[in-house]
Copies of this chain bind each other. A is one copy, B any other.
Amino acid sequence: MQAPTIHEIPERSGAAFRLARGEILTVIDPRGEQVADLLAFAADDLDEVISSGRTLDYAETIYLTTGHKLYSNRSQPMLEIVADDVGRHDFLLTPCSYDTFHHFYPTLPPHRGCFGNLAAALEPYGVMPDRIPTAFNCFMNVPIDAETGKLRVLPPISKAGDQIVFRAAMDLVIGLTACSAPDSNGGTFKPIHYAIGPNPRLD
């Protein structure tokens, strides 16, 4: 079995691509401590979109890992997590944007962030910016204080080469980034790798 092509998403950028039902998507953190925001839209009807609220409701946890499904706003499974080296990802926070840069990093040059990168990458597929919901933020480390509810954005616990692997439950348009926000990525910006096709980890 030939290993699938590895695609690189350069630092602080994004990509979009089709993923057919049954196909395997592997998202790799090649250097460690790098977040990748992931979005999914039903290829046949872009009004069906990944839903953090449906997913957290069904999973009964905020920390999703192997065996969990990511649901659409219509309560349909879109992706299943079939392998996961890390076990700590975020599904609470929206992609960083010009506005979040202004808010959190007023002294840094603003950046269009994952939101702008996703909007640009998804535009050729017909996805409008207002349709971008809370992303599944691979490798993003957002612990919660159970007492106060306070959340923190800490460096990812992913190490170089760590993977999370998804199987598509329907034909999808995927958006994926190498995240642009300093705090989310331990202060440095690195690429993200992905591959579509069989993953030897699953054999």
Contacts and interface: CB of A to CB of B under 8 A. Distances in A.
Given A47-B130, A61-B150, A61-B151, A53 B93 contact: yes
A203 interface: no
Interface string A149-187: 111100000000000000000000000000000000000
B100 A57 contact: yes
A159 to B, nearest CB: 20
Contact of A93 (B56, B63, B94, B103): B56
Question: Interface range on chain A: under 10, 10 to 19, 20 to 34, or 35 or more?
Answer: 35 or more
Contact of A60 (B53, B73, B133, B151): B151
B103 A58 contact: yes
Contacts of A130: 47-49, 73-74
A151 B62 contact: yes
Is chain A's binding surface mostly helix, strand, loop or mixed? loop
Contact of A94 (B53, B144, B152): B53
A132 B75 CA distance: 13
A10 interface: no
Contacts of A92: 52-53, 56, 62, 92
Contact of A75 (B54, B58, B97, B134): B97
A156 to B, nearest CB: 15
A100 B97 CA distance: 32
Contacts of A100: 54, 57-58, 75
B150 A60 contact: yes
Contact of A57 (B48, B62, B93, B146): B93
A99 interface: yes
Nearest to A96: B57
A49 to B, nearest CB: 8
Nearest to A87: B149
Interface of A: 47-49, 51-54, 56-58, 60-63, 73-75, 92-94, 97, 99-100, 103, 128, 130, 132-135, 143-146, 148-152
